[in-house]
Amino acid sequence: MTSRRGGRPAVPGGATAAGDRPAAAVGPDEAAVPGTLHGLEEAVHELADEDRPPPAGPAANVVIALAVVALGAATVAGALGLDVGSPATPGAGTWPFLVGVVLVVLGLALVALARRTADAERFTGASWLVVAGLASMVVFVALIGVIGFEIPAALVVFVWLRFLGHEGWRLSVVTSLAVVAGFYLVFVAALSVPIPHLF
């Protein structure tokens, strides 16, 4: 049986014996590409899961959530001692108060989801970095009302970059000073927000 053009034998599927194939035809290698990519993605996810610590569990999730609530409550209490003010005339404690309220709400939400989440990881050696970061924030809140925000903010940024983020000394110093300067120019000089400050 021959085709009507040139007498070449017809091949099922519309291709000819000379090796022609329709434009829509896909070879076996091309068809396997999506499956191969999917397999690579699964392998990457499996490797990432192997590097992660095991889940903390519901009890640990509740403890973590209550710690967030406690941190938020302490922030709110400290903000009330700094004069919260009003929406029209915000005081020095306005932003700490708002941050504390958000922390309390998020902590309560974490308590409600403690049995249904596996995002929290079991406490390991690397978890001490998170504890150090929280401790630095507690020190920052305690000092800002005594000596202003400039020195505590510079120290917090420097500690986070140099000791928690393992950045270089020069980058840590320059960035910490730049952050404090930018914060001062925006909130103190431009917006006249009554934040405790030295200058």
Note the pLDDT tens digit of each residue in 139-197: 888 888 889 999 999 999 999 999 888 899 999 999 999 999 999 999 889 888 888 88
pLDDT of residue 59: 81
| Structure letter (DSSP) for residue 92 | T
Residues of the chain with pLDDT under 50: 2-6, 11, 13-19, 23, 26, 30-32
The three-class DSSP label of residue 21 is coil
pTM value? 0.49
**DSSP letter, residue 12:** G
pLDDT of res. 195:
84
Q: Work out whether the CA dihedral 140, 142, 144, 146 comes out positive or negative.
A: negative
Q: What is the dihedral of CA 104, 107, 113, 118, to 10 degrees?
A: 160
Give the pair of three-digit tokens for residue 87. 């929406």
Q: How far is CA 30 from CA 23, 24, 25, 37, in A?
A: 13, 12, 10, 12
Q: Residue 164: what are its φ and ψ, rounded to 5°? A: -95, -35
Q: In this predicted structure, what is the pLDDT of residue 155?
A: 94
Residue 112 exposed, middle or buried by CB count within 10 Å (0-12, 13-18, 19+): exposed
Question: According to the model, what pLDDT value does residue 50 have?
Answer: 57
Q: What is the pLDDT of residue 72?
A: 92
Helix ranges (H only) for 84-194 are 94-112, 127-147, 150-159, 169-183
